[in-house]
Amino acid sequence: MKRIVKLFLFTFFTSIISAQIAPNFTILDTDNNSIKLYEDLLDQDKIVIIDLFFVICPLCKPYNAPFQALYEEFGSGTQDVEFLLLTTKDWDSNAQVADYRTQYGLTYPGSGTDGGGLAAAGPYINGDFGTFFGTPTYIAIAPNRKVYFNIGGGGTTATMDKIRSKILEIRAGIGADSHTQITINLESYKTNVEVPEHTFYLRSGDDVNNKYVVPTSFEYPSIQYPELSNPEIVVDIPQINNSNISTLDLFTIQRNLLGLETFDNFQKHASDVNGSNSITASDLLLMRKLILQLEDKFPVNKSYLSLDSSCKTEETKCVSSIKIDLNKANQTINFTVIKIGDVK
């Protein structure tokens, strides 16, 4: 029983390690090119394969030719995959790594200690992602920054097959790779107007009652926010607020109906106080009743509407829910808040 528990804990913590996020680094390669992991590679939706080695590593030599062939198979860095050669020894200079690349015909970027290669390799050889057993060690990093440590084993052919499979798996967005970092922004349509109290929800587009309160930045899916069908983000603003709705708004909407004033899409939706998806005399009547305090709220039963910020210029984007795109490693979702009835 103890052995089973130990095995479970080992597997559990190993899975946690393998799901960690890659730290950013900057290296200067042997061709004097500066390469930043996040900005130049992952944020450009590239998959990164790291080869940990050192210049006089005897076990690395048989892997060089097949690894170079695999690099060429995936476009030699011109497509969505880039390979990096990083030293694990402080005595390997960029000049020595350059000679090594020439000797073995390696065309993927490499970096020695003075180029930052050892510093970049540090978290992987220090055990942050699992036990480092020596060189060569191969690591895959998905565009969403997830690390897959120590890919390989069983000889050169088996190792190349495993690296190839991992690349294809990340490309296809299978399993743990189908993650995206969500960032939500919310702004008011009117400048210098505070955004009202609100709550962000992650919900299923197929079952709107299946939802989670989320912060402005989070990863999806995750243990805290499990996978939903047709996932989307919405904003809830329950506050009823009739202030600043006046006869000037009424007059402005009348001018629009008469063709004397043009509205952008946000103003059009703010004018639709009865929720009919059009601006009519009925909206004007309801506004009069509210201004005269004959009604205390509009039929839509809310004072605020949050729409995709692209709505201002694209009518098709005038939606109150924004879909999550798992094909993106990072997705920024922008909402704009409008006050219903307030168009001036």
CATH code of the domain covering residue 260: 1.10.1330.10
Q: Would you call 52 helix, strand, or coil by DSSP?
A: strand
Q: What is the dihedral of CA 186, 189, 193, 199, to 10 degrees?
A: -30
Residue among 48, 60, 68, 66 nearest 87 (CA): 60
Let me know: does 270 contact 263? Beta carbons within 8 Å: no
Question: What is d(CA 71, CA 192) in angstroms, rounded to the nearest whole number?
Answer: 53
pLDDT band of 4, cuts 50, 70, 90: very low
Whether residue 238 is found in the same domain as residue 323: yes
pLDDT at 178: 61
Question: What is d(CA 7, CA 4) in angstroms, rounded to the nearest whole number?
Answer: 5
Chain centroid, CA 178 distance in Å: 10
- φ/ψ of 315, rounded to 5, equals -60, -35
Mean pLDDT value of segment 48-71: 97
Whether the per-residue pLDDT at 109 is higher than 80: the answer is yes
pLDDT band of 79, cuts 50, 70, 90: very high
In this predicted structure, which of 5-9, 49-53, 227-231 has the lowest mean pLDDT? 5-9
In this predicted structure, which of 17-26, 154-163, 182-191, 321-330 has the lowest mean pLDDT? 17-26
Classify residue 196 as exposed, middle or buried by CB count within 10 Å of its CB (0-12, 13-18, 19+). middle
Question: What is d(CA 15, CA 271) in angstroms, rounded to the nearest whole number?
Answer: 53
CA angle 77, 82, 84 (to 5 degrees): 120
Q: Would you call 107 helix, strand, or coil by DSSP?
A: coil
The tokens for 7 are 């095995």
Whether residue 137 is found in the same domain as residue 264: no
Whether residue 35 is found in the same domain as residue 113: yes
Chain centroid, CA 275 distance in Å: 33
Q: Which region holds residue 175: left if phi is over 0, alpha if psi is between -120 and 50, else beta?
A: left
CATH code for position 150:
3.40.30.10
- Domain annotation covers residue 201: yes
Chain centroid, CA 68 distance in Å: 30
Mean pLDDT of the chain: 89
Q: What is the CA radius of gyration of the chain?
A: 28
Q: How many domains does the chain have?
A: 2
Whether the per-residue pLDDT at 14 is higher than 70: the answer is no
- Domain annotation covers residue 144: yes
Whether residue 192 is found in the same domain as residue 257: yes
Q: Among the three residues 129, 157, 177, which one is the final residue of a domain in this structure?
A: 177
- Domain annotation covers residue 130: yes
Whether residue 29 is found in the same domain as residue 44: yes
Q: Among the three residues 131, 152, 177, which one is the final residue of a domain in this structure?
A: 177
**What pTM, to 2 d.p., does this model score?**
0.51
Residue among 120, 122, 104, 18 nearest 56 (CA): 104
Whether the per-residue pLDDT at 23 is higher than 60: the answer is yes
Give the tens place of pLDDT for each residue, 171-203: 887 444 467 899 999 999 998 889 999 999 999
Whether residue 136 is found in the same domain as residue 240: no
- Domain annotation covers residue 344: no
Q: Percentage of the chain surpassing pLDDT 90?
A: 68
- Domain annotation covers residue 222: yes
pLDDT at 107: 98
Q: Percentage of the chain surpassing pLDDT 70?
A: 93
Whether the per-residue pLDDT at 226 is higher than 90: the answer is no
Whether residue 90 is found in the same domain as residue 107: yes
- Domain annotation covers residue 243: yes
Let me know: does 211 contact 192? Beta carbons within 8 Å: no
Mean pLDDT value of segment 241-248: 88
SS (H, E, C) 99-126: HHHHHHCCCCCEECHHHCHHHHHHHHHC
Question: What is d(CA 227, CA 232) in angstroms, rounded to the nearest whole number?
Answer: 11
- Domain annotation covers residue 8: no
The tokens for 192 are 């210098």
Residue among 320, 176, 317, 301 nearest 242 (CA): 301
Please tell me which residue, 136 or 207, carries the higher pLDDT value.
136
Amino acid in the structure at residue 6:
K
Whether residue 199 is found in the same domain as residue 149: no
- Domain annotation covers residue 9: no
Whether residue 149 is found in the same domain as residue 261: no
pLDDT band of 153, cuts 50, 70, 90: confident
Question: What is d(CA 264, CA 332) in angstroms, rounded to the nearest whole number?
Answer: 23
**DSSP, res 261:** S
Question: What is d(CA 150, CA 134) in angstroms, rounded to the nearest whole number?
Answer: 10
Whether residue 185 is found in the same domain as residue 172: no
Give the tens place of pLDDT for each residue, 87-104: 999 999 999 999 999 999
Mean pLDDT value of segment 198-213: 92
Whether residue 110 is found in the same domain as residue 219: no
Whether residue 22 is found in the same domain as residue 51: yes
Residue 106 belongs to domain spanning: 17-177
Question: What is d(CA 252, CA 246) in angstroms, rounded to the nearest whole number?
Answer: 10
Q: Among the three residues 136, 159, 177, which one is the final residue of a domain in this structure?
A: 177
Whether the per-residue pLDDT at 8 is higher than 50: the answer is no
